[in-house]
Amino acid sequence: MTESAYRFRVGDLECIAIRDADETFHVRELLPDCDDPQVREALALRGWPTEEISYDFLGLFVRAGDHAIVVDPGWGPCADGLESRFVPTLRQAGVDPDDVAFVILTHLDLDHAGGVMAPDGGLAFPNARHVMAEEAWDGYRSERILSMCSPTDAERYRTLARLLEGRVLLTRDATEVVAGVQTVPAPGHRMGHTAVEFVSKGETLLHLADTVLHPIVVEHPTWRTGYDSSQERIRETRRRLFDRAAQSRALVFLSHAPFPGLGHIASEGTGWRWFPLAHSEALTGFRACPGSPHASLGDC
Ligand SMILES: [Zn+2]
Q: Which residues pair with 206 in a beta bridge?
A: 197, 252
Question: For 269-287, what is the mean pLDDT?
Answer: 71
For residue 124, report the phi and psi dihedrals to the nearest 5 degrees: -70, -30
Question: What is the H or E stretch that residue 144 is in?
Answer: helix 143-146
Spell out a b/e string for 165-178, using b for 16 or more CB atoms within 10 Å of the CB, else e.
Answer: eeebbebeeebebe
For Cα atoms 179, 175, 145, give the angle at the middle one, nearest 5 degrees.
140
What pLDDT, on the 0 to 100 scale, is given for residue 256? Answer: 97
Q: Which pTM does this prediction carry?
A: 0.92
Residue 99 has pLDDT above 50, yes or no: yes
Q: How confident is the model at residue 277 (pLDDT cuts 50, 70, 90)?
A: confident
More confident residue, 150 or 285: 150
> CA of 40: how far to CAs of 30, 46, 50, 149, in Å?
13, 10, 6, 32
What pLDDT, on the 0 to 100 scale, is given for residue 280? Answer: 53
DSSP tally for the chain: helices H, then strands E: 9, 14
Cis, bond preceding 260 (omega within 30 deg of 0): yes
More confident residue, 297 or 73: 73
Q: How far is the CA of 285 from the centre of ligand 1 (A)?
A: 30
Q: How far is the CA of 271 from the centre of ligand 1 (A)?
A: 24
Mean pLDDT of the chain: 92
Q: How far is the CA of 98 from the centre of ligand 1 (A)?
A: 25
Question: For 208-221, what is the mean pLDDT?
Answer: 97
Residue 300 has pLDDT above 70, yes or no: no
Residue 299: name the closest of 7, 11, 2 by CA: 7
Q: How far is the CA of 26 from the centre of ligand 1 (A)?
A: 16
Q: How far is the CA of 289 from the centre of ligand 1 (A)?
A: 30
Residue 262: name the closest of 4, 44, 6 by CA: 6
What pLDDT, on the 0 to 100 scale, is given for residue 204? Answer: 97
Q: How far is the CA of 135 from the centre of ligand 1 (A)?
A: 17
Query: DSSP readout, 183-203?
Result: EEE-TTSSTT-EEEEEEETTE
Rounded to whole angstroms, how far apart are CA atoms 169 and 24?
A: 35
What pLDDT, on the 0 to 100 scale, is given for residue 223? Answer: 95
Residues whose beta carbons lie less than 5 angstroms from ion ligand 1: 111, 210
Rounded to whole angstroms, how far apart are CA atoms 93 and 79?
A: 22
Q: How far is the CA of 291 from the centre of ligand 1 (A)?
A: 34
Domains of the chain: 5-284 (3.60.15.10)
Residue 23 has pLDDT above 50, yes or no: yes
Q: How far is the CA of 215 from the centre of ligand 1 (A)?
A: 13
Q: How confident is the model at residue 160 (pLDDT cuts 50, 70, 90)?
A: very high
Q: How far is the CA of 214 from the centre of ligand 1 (A)?
A: 11
Question: For 247-276, what is the mean pLDDT?
Answer: 95
